[in-house]
Structure 1
Amino acid sequence: MVNTLEFTVADGVATLTFNRPAQRNAIDLVMRGELAQCFANVQKDRTIRALVLTGAGGAFCAGGDLRSMQSSGNDGAGWRARMQDAHQWVGALIELDRPVIAAVDGPAYGAGFSLVLAADFVIATPAARFCMPFLKLGLVPDFGALHTLPRVVGMQRAKELMLSAREVAADEALRLGIVGEIVPADRLPARAQALAASFTGASPLAISLMKRALAAEPANLAATLEFEADAQALCFTSAQHREAVARFLDKQPAAFVWPTGEQS
């Protein structure tokens, strides 16, 4: 993974860095293939407890590489096949059963914005900016954004952001709920790693079940309560629950502690 990405794993945290800074980390065909391989590795490696997505050189990801796309020579069937191939790993990222943290500096445009929306937590610098520019190119949003953006900001706001193709600054993204925290650029990597590392002390089973339930389409109350009963029964019988209770009763610190901004 030396061409377009940096991928490292340390102490249960995987960090994937988009690394085409001269192109603002735009996604070309090589990066697509490497992203697919990285996400497959994350899925298989159960020692990985959290994933951080970030970009090199003051940009997160500027979206698809238009030069690469223009030279593809695809017809309609070719473009459909290309999107279906990408959506296999995009779907795997959205449904990943471990926490995903996006650390955003600079532009997150198009598919880059879509990858941000696939994350569970988004932290950004004041220089971060987000945009769905697809309509300017005669395209529709992709990489799952038609599903994820309305769930994050609501249907009406999602329509406005997609149909206007306007840029959203970091402070507005915070108000809209796209971003959870804004931190100075020099603190972004440490804050992302602190959030990810905190989950190495949490129950993988509980996280997996929570993410599965929250990712599902809205269900009626009875179905939700039934899922809660099944999931909680699994968690009550898990080793992580027994250890957490023992720590509590022995007045020991919890294994999972959410890091406040002052700690990172």
Structure 2
Amino acid sequence: MQYQTIRFQVDGAVATLSLDRPEARNALSLQMRAELDDVLPRLKAEAGKGIKALILTGANGHFCAGGDVKAQAARAAGDKGTLMEGRARLREAHPRLIELANLDMPVIVAVDGAAAGAGFSLALTGDFVLASERAFFVQSFGKLGLVPDWNSLYLLPRLVGLQKAKELVFTARRLPAHEAMALGIVHSVHKPEDLMAVARRMARKLAQASPAAIALSKNILNQSLHLDNRAVLEMEAMAQTIARDTDFHREAVRRFAAREPALFDWDAPDPAEPPAQGEGMR
């Protein structure tokens, strides 16, 4: 498929998926949604093999302005269809959102400029959200008399708590990057010119970890908040049994016993690009 509204590149073990509709601040058009649905199966199939980390970002100084309001207005002026047809259009996004949130690899979201409406929701699907100093987040649905969608009503209260989630949804106020970091939405804030370099460095480092350990841990963590303790312990036991039977674990143990350099060491220098002082995951 020849992409018109996204860019997809693979560099070594790191894939970069960029939303690219400059004329609409990367709003989620029907074509963009179809192109996302085309690339996600490749990411899913390659997870832990050729591709071990994903960066999700937006081109041209914006992350995503949310839904395509102009297209929605045009549709409202014409044949809107039935309520059930409208519901079906919204539900077609559900498999996409679940697959993206549960990809068997680290997903790093790099937000520059606006993450509004469904763009805010999309950012929440990542494992880590990095933001530029000029980035902002807004649950803009309320400005149009709408309810948050694209998984915001599930993910947001789990990150910031119920009361703060209600505030952000009810007020539809603009949330600057540093406040978003204080709330736990954003992992770290960087200068706009440094944002992608930091995201790539993080992705390269995480791509060196055990793909199985990352995938298994992520799967359990994503379910842990709605499972009881006994269920999580059982999942831990099964996941650990699988992880112990991987080539990565065997080689890591051999190196430890032989006092050789670790197979994965987050604190070791990045040979591709040594981290600048004060940057990286803390």
TM-score, normalised to structure 2, is 0.89
2:200 maps to 1:199: no
Mapped partners of 1:254, 1:128: distance in 2: 36
Contact 1:60 1:106 in 2 (8 A): yes
Structure 1: give runs of 5+ residues left out of the alignment: none
8 Å contact kept, 1:61–1:107: yes
Is 1:141–2:148 an aligned residue pair? yes
Deviation at 1:83, TM superposition (A): 1.1
Cα deviation for residue 19 of structure 1 reads: 0.7
CA distance in 1, matches of 2:61, 2:170: 27
RMSD: 1.6
Q: Give the letter for the 1:256 counterpart.
A: F
Q: 1:97 aligns with which of 87, 94, 104?
A: 104
How far residue 156 of structure 1 moved from its aligned partner, in angstroms, is 1.2
In structure 2, the partner of 1:55 is: 58
Q: Secondary structure at the match of 1:122?
A: strand
Q: How do 1:150-161 and structure 2 match up within 5 A?
A: 150-161=157-168
Structure 2 residue aligned with 1:68: 71
Post-superposition CA distance 1:104-153 (Å, at most 9, x none): 11000011111110000111111000000111111111111111111111
Cα 1:257–1:68 change in 2 (3 A) is: farther
State the alpha-carbon separation in 1 of the partners of residues 147 and 219 from structure 2.
Answer: 27
Which piece of structure 1 moves more, 13-22 or 250-259?
Answer: 250-259
Residue 207 of structure 2 aligns to a residue whose secondary structure is helix
- The equivalent of 2:9 in structure 1 is 8
1:150 counterpart SS class: helix
Mapping for residues 159-170 of structure 1, pairs under 5 Å:
159-170=166-177
2: CA distance, partners of 1:261 / 1:64:
37
Q: What TM-score does the superposition give when structure 1 sets the normalisation length?
A: 0.95
Structure 1 residue 199: Cα displacement: 2.1
Q: Which deviates the most, 209-218 or 180-189? A: 209-218
Give 1:183's match in structure 2, choosing from 190, 207, 217.
190
Residue 229 (structure 1) aligned to one of 233, 237, 245: 237
Give 1:26's aligned amino acid. A
Measure the CA separation in 2 of the matches of 1:9 and 1:241: 26
Question: Which residue of the partner structure matches residue 35 of structure 2?
Answer: 34
Q: What is the aligned partner in structure 1 of residue 270 from structure 2?
A: none
> Partner amino acid for 1:74?
K
Q: For 2:143 and 2:276, how far apart are their aligned partners in 1?
A: 38
Structure 2 residue runs without a partner (length 5+): 268-274
Task: Check conservation: 1:195, 1:258, Cα contact below 8 A.
Answer: no
Shift of 1:229: 1.4
